[in-house]
Amino acid sequence: MRARVVLFRRHVAAAVSVVVCVAALVASAAGRRRDRSRKSRVILDPGRDVCMAEDVPALNLSFPTAWTHGTFCTHPTYLRRQCCSGFQIAALQRGCPVVEPVETVLSAAQQLQPSVDRFVRIAHRHSLPDVVREYHDAAFTLLLPEDQGWTYAEDTVTDEFLRRILVSGRWVPALLLYHVLDRRWHSNHLRDNDELRTLADDRTVAVSKINKKMVLFNCVPTTQLDLHARDGMVHVLTKPLPPAYLHTLADVVLTHPALSLFASLVGYADLMSWVRTEGPLTMLAPTNSALRRLPRRFLDSITYDVRYFEALQAMVKNHLVRGRHCFLELQARVRVETLAGHQLPLLCSASAKLAVGDSNVTRSDLVVANGVIHFIDMPLLPSKAMSLVQVARQAGARRFIELTKRSGLFDDLVSFGPYTVFAPSDEALSRQSSSWLGRDFLRNETALRDLVTYHVALGSHASFTLRDNDELATRREGGVVRVKILPKTMTVEDGLVINGDNEAFNGYVHVVDRVLRPPVHTLARALAVTRNLTRFNTLVTKGDLSLLRELGRGRGPYTLLAVPDEDMDRWASDLFTYYRILHDQTILNQTLNVHLLDDFVMPRGLLEGSHTLLYPRGRRRPRGYEQPLRMVFSKGQLSFDHASVTSDYVLCTNGILLFVDSILLP
Ligand SMILES: *[C@@H]1O[C@H](CO)[C@@H](O)[C@H](O)[C@H]1NC(C)=O
Ligand SMILES: *[C@@H]1O[C@H](CO)[C@@H](O)[C@H](O)[C@H]1NC(C)=O
Ligand SMILES: *[C@@H]1O[C@H](CO)[C@@H](O)[C@H](O)[C@H]1NC(C)=O
Ligand SMILES: *[C@@H]1O[C@H](CO)[C@@H](O)[C@H](O)[C@H]1NC(C)=O
Ligand SMILES: *[C@@H]1O[C@H](CO)[C@@H](O)[C@H](O)[C@H]1NC(C)=O
């Protein structure tokens, strides 16, 4: 059913032979749109001069070589044996042993099916054979477009080409000669990205060779390859060659009416002269309507604000791929890497439409001197060129972005900055929505604004530019967030970063696993209002007043290790020590000082097995003798020397209050 036959060389003389010829040619050379009705001989065995073609029946496509991996745009492909061009079958013999007599390329071309008459007629009218002979006395290669390909034109570049060829006779010879290569090129000798000289003033035609097999000239697929003739070689194309030499990428970007917005991006990114001279490149050009899908303010910011120049360049480069990748090749690939370093997934649908990431290719194969252009209907933003809003959404913080809308911060995140957003994950927010972050809270604009602005720090900070214990000012008036950088984790206040370093053009997004609540109390106040710390608080008020002052007013950040009443009671049964501490002011002062660390200890994010030595004030003694406090995190339990820390803590404006289960002595 899907097998088909035979080609051969053309024979001029014998009329009988011509009839046979035509029938066979029709069968074999059906090309891109195969005529499936004709009867044909099936070649079942491989043999001499049998070539393999590949068909995609569902799309009526046929390729002159087998080059896909068995599917094309979700459809299975079928291999088909046929006689290689210039050979034919003979009764009772294997393979295609009969060699057709050699003829000139143009006379041979007249017998091809589907027809290539149109080109041949124009060629004769303009005496192409004489012109060729005039320029060139050796063998050459003719790239011959099928008739049905002449109706394809719909974009400006090729329109211009057709207008010139059809209307202005003056151009014809040059454009005809552009279809003539200056030597005999067998498809086996063509390589991807070759530029072949034509007889038209040495203008070149670009070769694409997909999977080392399927040959395209200026992105035009071939339907038959390697028809030998006495004076040269013929390859049949689905349509006339676009005159790539007329334009560069820059010319099309600057002149095509659908690309004026993209042109201004390329211009402001200072890349226009680059896309004029560099190549070959593939440009996935977002049309004006594609770019209008972006928020206007974002587009303005990234275009005109010099602070975002790098992001703009990344954005433009994300629409460029190195090499000339024709539509047919992209249809068969699964991804390409852009010059901005991003991998873009490619997906060809059953109807042979191509999606690049989230966008669709709406026009393809505008071939120019230094590459090829495909139009797309949605810009391809690298994370680096997205706004904080887009990046946060992608990183799993959609609900937080919804909150920024209610609190009036949304527009800032779209187009201003730079900011570092510590965005609570969607999960973190939904966990809280049933408790304090309920409907009443959301109705209170002041409270909501306080909360949201607390998650947005000023400046652009990646984890690798931050240092342990950095404090970042936030958009919330006077609000500061404290960052801990550990070997493998990062925390901000008590939020553990679960998806960090998402770069946007105007900052970074770090997704955290908690909603961060601005602390309200100082350590001293927290000590006073926490119910189960009354006894410890009594000790502190009896002790060193300078310490109390620090807890009440100092900037810190400190870590206060407080002992709950229950544990104080247990410990007070050791009457001797208790008595000594209560009645010896020096010992009391020192004891309390052991409980105060000049450090911000965040129990979350600690790695199993980690241990650190800390020097609290109470253990620094004269003459250099210092006895550190050993902080160990083991089996999920944090401890300081022999005192274990409970999992609760109170974040305070000047530090953190941890609960330990016993007194630490100096
Ligand atoms: C394929 O060709 C057949 C017969 O010429 C036609 O009926 C059919 O609509 C074509 N299918 C496609 C997808 O072009
Ligand atoms: C791309 O095409 C698909 C399928 O035709 C469609 O669902 C999608 O919305 C298109 N995308 C855009 C950005 O138009
Ligand atoms: C809203 O929140 C602020 C600050 O959290 C608070 O002072 C105020 O009383 C709240 N207003 C209402 C109506 O609940
Ligand atoms: C002491 O009180 C704090 C805050 O109310 C609480 O989180 C903690 O679990 C209590 N500790 C003990 C040992 O009861
Ligand atoms: C302990 O602190 C108290 C209160 O600040 C102070 O008066 C006293 O001198 C301190 N004692 C010693 C021995 O440091």
| Span 358-412, pLDDT tens digits | 899 999 999 999 999 999 999 998 888 889 999 999 999 999 999 999 888 999 9
> Is a pLDDT exceeding 80 seen at residue 533?
yes
Ligand 5 neighbour 550 (Cβ under 6 A):
no
Q: From the CA of 59, which ligand is nearest? A: 1
Tell me how far apart the alpha carbons of residues 378 and 292 are, in angstroms, rounded to a whole number.
9
Residue 444 pLDDT exceeds 80? yes
- Backbone phi and psi for residue 613, each to the nearest 5 degrees, phi listed first: -105, 130
CB 319 within 8 A of CB 380: yes
Task: Give the model's pLDDT for residue 207.
Answer: 96
DSSP category for residue 606: P
Q: What confidence category does residue 158 fall into, taking pLDDT thresholds of 50, 70 and 90? A: low
Q: Ligand 3 pocket: which residues have CB below 6 Å?
A: 444, 446-447
Length of the chain: 666
| Selection from 314, 312, 320, 333 nearest residue 376 by Cα | 320
Q: How far is CA 254 from CA 258, 280, 285, 449, 598, in A?
A: 10, 18, 12, 45, 62
Q: What b/e sequence results for 142-161 when a residue is b if at least 16 CB atoms lie within 10 Å of its CB, and e otherwise? A: bbbbbbbbbeebebebbebb
The model's confidence at residue 4, banded by pLDDT at 50, 70 and 90, is very low
Its pTM stands at 0.70
Q: Residue holding tokens 């002052």?
A: 549
354 alpha carbon, closest ligand: 2
Quick one: average pLDDT of 16-26?
Answer: 31
Q: How far is the CA of 544 from the centre of ligand 5 (A)?
A: 5
- The CA distance from 128 to 610, in Å, is 83
User: What is the distance in A from the centroid of ligand 4 to the CA of 590?
Assistant: 25
Closest CA to 523 of 492, 542, 547, 493: 547
* Ligand approaching nearest to the C-alpha of 618: 5
SS3 (DSSP) at 178: coil
Residues 6+ apart with CB under 8 A from 488: 607
- CA atoms of 28 and 444, how far apart (whole Å): 77
Cis peptide before 557 (omega within 30 of 0): yes
Question: What band does 169 get if pLDDT is binned at 50, 70 and 90?
Answer: low
Measure the CA–CA gap between 605 and 495, rounded to whole angstroms. Answer: 9
- pLDDT on residue 136: 66
Report the nearest-CA residue for atom 14 of ligand 5.
Answer: 586
In this structure, are residues 71 and 77 in contact, taking their beta carbons and an 8 Å threshold?
yes
- Identify the band that residue 156 occupies on the pLDDT scale cut at 50, 70 and 90: very low
pLDDT of residue 624: 55
Question: Is residue 553 predicted with pLDDT exceeding 90?
Answer: no
Q: What is the tens place of the pLDDT at every residue in 601-631?
A: 999 989 888 888 888 876 766 555 578 889 9
**What's CA 373's distance to the chain center, in Å?**
18
Domains in the chain (CATH in brackets) are: 43-100 (no CATH), 105-244 (2.30.180.10), 255-384 (2.30.180.10), 387-512 (2.30.180.10), 523-660 (2.30.180.10)
**CA atoms in the 13 A half-sphere facing the CB of 645:** 27
pLDDT at 455 over 90: yes
Task: Tell me the C-alpha distance between 645 and 119, whole Å.
Answer: 88
Cα–Cα separations (whole angstroms), residue 205 to 140, 172, 441, 574, 605: 14, 17, 67, 95, 60
Average pLDDT over every residue of 273-300: 93
Q: Encode 299-337: b = buried (16+ Cβ within 10 Å), e = exposed.
A: bebbbebeebeebbbbbbbbbbbeebbbbbbbbbeeebe
Terminal Cα distance for the chain, rounded: 94
Does the structure show a pLDDT above 90 at 118?
Answer: no
Query: What is the C-alpha separation between 480 and 216, in angstroms, rounded?
Result: 61
Q: Which residue has the higher pLDDT, 465 or 2?
A: 465
Q: How far is the CA of 448 from the centre of ligand 3 (A)?
A: 9
Tens of pLDDT, residue by residue over 124-137, are 888 887 877 776 67
Could you tell me if the CB of 367 is within 6 A of ligand 2? no
Q: What is the mean pLDDT of residues 293-315?
A: 89
What are the CA-CA distances from residue 451 to residues 461, 494, 506, 610 (Å)?
A: 20, 15, 21, 33
Q: Does the CB atom of residue 549 touch ligand 5 within 6 A?
A: no
- The rounded Å distance from CA 263 to ligand 2 centre is 24
> What is the structure's pLDDT at 170?
57
**How far does residue 431's CA lie from ligand 4's centre (Å)?**
22
Question: How many Å lie between the centroid of ligand 1 and the Cα of residue 151?
Answer: 18
In the sheet with 596-597, reading across from the earlier edge strand, the strands are 596-597, 558-562, 655-660, 643-652, 637-640, 629-634, 611-614
Q: Is the peptide bond before 114 cis (omega within 30 degrees of 0)?
A: yes
**pLDDT category of residue 279 using cuts at 50, 70 and 90:** confident
* Residue found under tokens 């247990």: 570
Question: How many whole angstroms from 648 Cα to the centroid of ligand 4?
Answer: 7
Query: Closest residue (by CA) to atom 6 of ligand 3?
Result: 447
Q: How many CB atoms lie within 10 A of CB 439?
A: 7
* Helix or strand run (H / E) with residue 527: helix 523-529
Q: So what's the pLDDT on residue 36?
A: 35
According to the model, what pLDDT value does residue 628 have?
84
- Say whether pLDDT at 231 is over 70: yes
**Residue 360 Cβ contacting ligand 2 at under 6 Å:** yes
Tokens representing 295 are 């928020």
Reported as a pLDDT band with limits 50, 70 and 90, residue 661 is: very high
Closest CA to 52 of 36, 63, 40: 63
Index of the ligand 3 atom closest to the CA of residue 444: 1
Cβ 222 vs Cβ 159: under 8 Å: no
CB-defined site of ligand 4, < 6 Å: 530, 532, 564, 566, 646, 648, 659
* Listed range (91-100, 607-616, 635-644) with the worst mean pLDDT: 91-100
Average pLDDT, the chain: 84
Average pLDDT over residues 245-266: 92
Tens digit of each residue's pLDDT (9 = 90 or more) over 32-63? 333 333 334 556 667 778 888 999 999 999 99
Percent of the chain's residues with pLDDT above 70: 88
pLDDT at 335: 92
Ligand 2 pocket check for 51: Cβ under 6 Å: no
Does residue 362 have its Cβ closer than 6 Å to ligand 2? Answer: no
